[in-house]
Amino acid sequence: MPSKPAPIKKAAKKEPAKKEEKAPEPAPAPAPEPAPAEPAPAEAEAPPAEEAAAPEGEAAPAPPPEEPKPPTPPPPKEPTSAPVDLFVEDKNDNSVTIIWSEPANVGASGLDGYTIEVCKDGTDDWKAVNESLQKSSRFVIKNLTTGDHLNIRVVAVNEGGRSPPVTLPEPVLVKEVADRPKIRLPRFLRQRYVAHVGDKINLTIPFSGKPKPVVTWTKGGQPLDPKRVNIRSTERDSIVFIRAAERDDSGVYDMSVKVEGFEDKASLTLQIVELPGPPSSLKIVDTWGFNVALEWTPPNDNGNTEITGYTVQKADKKTGDWFTVLEHYHRLNATISDLIMGNTYKFRVFSENKCGLSESATVAKGEAKILKTGIEYKPPEYKERDFSEAPKFTTNLSDRTTTVGYSTKLLCSVRGFPKPKVQWMKNQMIIGDDPKFRQICVQGICSLEIRKPGNFDGGVYSCRAMNDLGEATISCKLEVKQPVVPEGGK
């Protein structure tokens, strides 16, 4: 079979292949000499022998071995593209703050940092201002000279070197950006600020503006007196301080804040108040019956604020104690009522404002005496009634029964005017002053007490009432019985 001899032929042909590999070894040593090129024809002849032998064995010739490939060189290191979006974030008289964005194309080498360079306008003397690479995309260029015009650029740096720079389109003037001043007056100072005499005043008024604004205070167009008012101003606010307020500190204070050609103004009104003085005068206008009319005038000193009312008091001359009769009263006249007849009164009035009552009061010079003679009682005239009446019994005597030895009493009532005279009779005989009987007549109630009656005290008893207009008589029957003795007692 033809497939079996093929590996044998391949093994036999391997040796010349090795010779071909060994043959070029001496060639590299005499590289500059052309002699090593002679064996090339002999080596070139070998392939035809193999090609001639190939048809005899009917097998494909073995391919020549490949030469080893040289190692792939690393890609060249390239810098990044230029940073983008460079602009000035802030600046003042000696520094400029810039900010930018990362390059759009960083590459395989990455990004190590940034270099910030400046040069004065009109020159090409670029100088780096950061000693080491800046990692962040924001940088503050410090220690600059006010008024310089500087060109600023940023370069990205990596292993491939420096990127193309990104430069600000225009030179930067080293000077703080002017910000319009604005006074932010607190809400409670937009209206009148009221304080008492002796109070400590400490007011803070914030404002804004760049560079540092110039603050000016005036009162009524005149500078403030530093002995009375202390002003302390910072970059953000101004403080008005008065250690002990006086009424002369009242007024309108004007505040002005200036930044270059810009200015803002504000005003605050300060009112220092205290207790008012008493009313200027007080007099008693009229007195009638139980009433007194008073009038007074406003105080000369209102305490630097409006008068809110008056307090009226009275005092009885006998006791001297003061009592309030009117409070928070707004008028300049009043009528005091419900006074006591026969008493003499004094009156005084206090002024009142938002601080309170005046320390003293104005007392009326005169006194008000409530006279008794002004009122006389005249009782109404009534026609006198004639109460004369003949005696008349309103309660009659009643018949009674009693037992021997037990006292009993007869009762009746009589009226009449003039007061009637009463007589008791037994069997039409006047009893008189017999001690056995006791006669009583009080307020028209007449009674006859019979003490321990005997068998002979029974009969008809009568009561007679008599006056100048007539007489009246009533009678009753009294029966006296023997006591009942039990049969067993015999």
pLDDT in tens, 263-298: 999 999 999 999 999 999 999 999 988 899 999 999
Q: Please tell me whether the peptide bond between 211 and the residue prior to it is cis, using omega within 30 degrees of 0.
A: yes
Reported as a pLDDT band with limits 50, 70 and 90, residue 400 is very high
Q: Which two tokens stand for residue 237?
A: 């606010």
Give residue 74's pLDDT: 66
Write the pLDDT tens digit of every residue in 245-266. 999 999 999 999 998 888 999 9
Q: Which two tokens stand for residue 145?
A: 């000279």
Reported as a pLDDT band with limits 50, 70 and 90, residue 224 is very high
Closest by Cα among 457, 460, 465 to 481: 457
69 compared with 428, residue with greater pLDDT: 428
**Percent of the chain whose pLDDT exceeds 70:** 84
d(CA 467, CA 419): 7
Cα→Cα distances 332→294, 308, 309, Å: 8, 12, 9
d(CA 310, CA 329): 5
Write the pLDDT tens digit of every residue in 129-150. 998 888 889 999 998 888 888 9
Helix (H) / strand (E) element for 19: namely helix 14-22
374 compared with 25, residue with greater pLDDT: 374
Whether residue 171 is predicted with pLDDT greater than 80 in this model: the reply is yes
Give residue 426's pLDDT: 93
Domains of the chain in sequence order: 84-174 (2.60.40.10), 179-273 (2.60.40.10), 283-370 (2.60.40.10), 389-481 (2.60.40.10)
The beta strand positions in 149-189, using DSSP E, are 149-158, 161-162, 166-167, 172-173, 179-183
Question: How much is the average pLDDT of 391-396?
Answer: 94
d(CA 105, CA 162): 13
Three-state secondary-structure class, residue 304:
coil
168 compared with 72, residue with greater pLDDT: 168
Residue 362 dihedral angles phi and psi, to the nearest 5°: -95, 125
Query: Hey, CA dihedral for 237, 242, 246, 249, is it positive or negative?
Result: negative
Write the pLDDT tens digit of every residue in 408-436. 999 999 999 999 999 999 999 999 888 89
Whether residue 201 is predicted with pLDDT greater than 50 in this model: the reply is yes
489 compared with 148, residue with greater pLDDT: 148
Cα→Cα distances 145→126, 150, 173, 176, 177, Å: 16, 10, 10, 12, 15
Whether residue 211 is predicted with pLDDT greater than 90 in this model: the reply is no
DSSP-assigned beta bridge partners for residue 194: 271
Three-state secondary-structure class, residue 450:
strand
**Segment among 43-52, 144-153, 218-227, 481-490 with least mean pLDDT:** 43-52
202, 180 contact by CB (below 8 A): no
Give residue 268's pLDDT: 93
Mean pLDDT of the chain: 84
Residues near 246 by beta carbon (within 8 Å), at least 6 away in sequence = 197, 228, 272
User: What angle (nearest 5°) sits at the alpha carbon of residue 121, between those of residues 115 and 122?
Assistant: 120
DSSP-assigned beta bridge partners for residue 469: none
Reported as a pLDDT band with limits 50, 70 and 90, residue 375 is low
Write the pLDDT tens digit of every residue in 298-353. 999 999 999 999 999 999 988 999 999 999 999 999 999 999 888 999 999 999 99
Give residue 204's pLDDT: 95
Indicate the pTM of the whole model: 0.47
